[in-house]
A and B are shown apart, each in its own frame.
Chain A
Amino acid sequence: QKEVEQDPGPLSVPEGAIVSLNCTYSNSAFQYFMWYRQYSRKGPELLMYTYSSGNKEDGRFTAQVDKSSKYISLFIRDSQPSDSATYLCAALSGGYNKLIFGAGTRLAVHP
């Protein structure tokens, strides 16, 4: 079993839709979680960083962690075509801040 699982999609939504991206993880010791956005042929860009359980909001983006079910989510409100990218979830593991990544979900927002 992979430590972080993510549905690769692709996910296609109309502009303005609310997008829900999800990951599950297996290691209950994970405390820090990240969401990265990666445009085609570019390096990943850190979007959100959350600690433990709860919600964190930044503009149109909300990151949610449910440690009881080992479930992490990223919600995008009022999605735009510029949000079309691959979204990677990651969990921080170990003393040297090793990131364990999901496979990434490819999102397409069409006008």
Chain B
Amino acid sequence: SQTIHQWPATLVQPVGSPLSLECTVEGTSNPNLYWYRQAAGRGLQLLFYSVGIGQISSEVPQNLSASRPQDRQFILSSKKLLLSDSGFYLCAWSGDGQGTYNEQFFGPGTRLTVL
């Protein structure tokens, strides 16, 4: 079976500090990977997606970046956090093994508070 992990679970960071959030998927190969952000009381906004190692597409221009150094690893980064970066960050995957590439499965999320 497939599992998706995210860490850390919660994070409190000062404005201007760097950020690194990690997501890994087990039990599948060549998944599509996604980063979403959910602001309080709002739906999910797609930030980045990746269809393969080193292939990153950005949906929303901002001070965040993403990287995919390995097939099942997806990293969300920032050099300098802004207050507006606070939110619930969710990683998702789709692909073979569970459903189809149409169905996305989410991780447990990282709650980021920027002070």
Task: Report the minimal beta-carbon distance from B2 to chain A, rounded to whole angstroms.
Answer: 12
Contact partner, B106, options A8, A43, A96, A104, Cβ 8 Å: A43
Is B99 in the interface zone, CB < 8 Å from A? Answer: yes
**Chain A residue nearest in CB terms to B109:** A43
Contact call A49/B99, Cβ cutoff below 8 A: yes
- On chain A, which size bracket covers the interface? 20 to 34
A46–B2 alpha-carbon span in the complex (Å)? 14
Taking beta carbons and an 8 Å cutoff, which residues of A are in contact with B?
Answer: 4, 6, 8, 32, 34, 36, 41-46, 49, 88, 90, 92, 96-99, 101-104
Contact call B43/A6, Cβ cutoff below 8 A: yes
**With A43-B90, A43-B109: A96-B49 Cβ-Cβ less than 8 Å:** yes
Q: Pick the 4 closest A-B CB pairs, nearest first.
A: A101-B43, A43-B106, A103-B43, A101-B44
- On chain B, which size bracket covers the interface? 20 to 34
Is B86 in the interface zone, CB < 8 Å from A? Answer: no
Contact call B43/A98, Cβ cutoff below 8 A: no
**With A96-B51, A97-B94, A98-B49: A45-B106 Cβ-Cβ less than 8 Å:** yes
Per-residue interface assignment for chain B, residues 34 to 47, with 1 indicating a CB less than 8 Å from any chain A CB and 0 otherwise:
10000001111110
Question: Interface majority SS on A: helix, strand, loop or mixed?
Answer: strand
A45–B45 alpha-carbon span in the complex (Å)? 16
A36–B38 alpha-carbon span in the complex (Å)? 14
Contact call A49/B106, Cβ cutoff below 8 A: no
**With A43-B90, A44-B106: A8-B41 Cβ-Cβ less than 8 Å:** yes
Contact partner, A103, options B42, B102, B108, Cβ 8 Å: B42
Is B24 in the interface zone, CB < 8 Å from A? Answer: no
A61–B88 alpha-carbon span in the complex (Å)? 27
A14–B112 alpha-carbon span in the complex (Å)? 35
Contact call A99/B104, Cβ cutoff below 8 A: yes
Contact call B102/A43, Cβ cutoff below 8 A: no
30 pairs, A vs B, C-beta closer than 8 Å: A6-B43, A32-B102, A34-B103, A36-B106, A42-B108, A43-B90, A43-B106, A43-B107, A44-B90, A44-B106, A45-B106, A46-B99, A46-B103, A46-B105, A46-B106, A49-B99, A88-B43, A90-B44, A96-B32, A96-B57, A97-B32, A97-B102, A97-B104, A99-B34, A99-B44, A99-B46, A101-B44, A101-B45, A102-B43, A103-B42
